[in-house]
């Protein structure tokens, strides 16, 4: 019961963060434009990345698409980590790493409604 509650809270937290960051990218907020433009993304690329992030967050909610949603979310986070590493920005990597680990923990615990 406790594991299911923890799994649910972690999953909902990841979904919330995915929707929040995805919307910030879809709306092309200035901080997102500043971060992604230095890696060669234009507004359209940022918006597509935001749409994929929102889709990944929504896929996490359903037990049948849970795995794919987490893979998409982790791939997006890993992409950002790789860009930070190309810039030798270890602070940026350190900021993104807990989000990647959160997705891995959620994958390990599984979807709370699947049991």
Per-residue pLDDT of the chain (115 residues; tens, 9 = 90+): 788 888 899 999 999 999 999 999 999 988 889 999 999 999 999 999 999 999 999 999 999 999 999 999 999 999 999 999 999 999 999 999 999 999 999 999 988 887 6
Question: Residue 112: its pLDDT value, please?
Answer: 86
Q: Which residue pairs from 110-115 have beta carbons closer than 8 angstroms and sit at least 24 positions apart in sequence?
A: 110/7, 110/66, 111/7, 111/11, 111/63, 111/66, 112/4, 112/5, 112/7, 112/8, 112/11, 113/63, 114/63, 114/66, 115/4
CB 102 within 8 A of CB 86: no
Question: Residue 113: its pLDDT value, please?
Answer: 82
CB 15 within 8 A of CB 24: no
Question: Residue 115: its pLDDT value, please?
Answer: 63
């Amino acid at each position: 019961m406790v594991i299911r509650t923890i799994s649910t809270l972690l999953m909902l937290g990841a979904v919330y963060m995915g929707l929040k960051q995805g919307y910030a990218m879809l709306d092309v907020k200035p901080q997102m434009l500043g971060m992604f433009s230095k890696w060669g993304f234009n507004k359209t690329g940022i918006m597509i990345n935001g749409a994929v992030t929102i889709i990944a967050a929504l896929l996490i909610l359903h037990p049948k698409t849970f795995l794919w949603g987490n893979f998409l979310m982790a791939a997006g986070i890993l992409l950002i980590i790789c860009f930070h590493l190309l810039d030798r920005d270890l602070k940026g990597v350190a900021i993104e790493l807990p989000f990647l680990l959160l997705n891995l923990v959620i994958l390990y615990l599984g979807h709370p409604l699947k049991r």
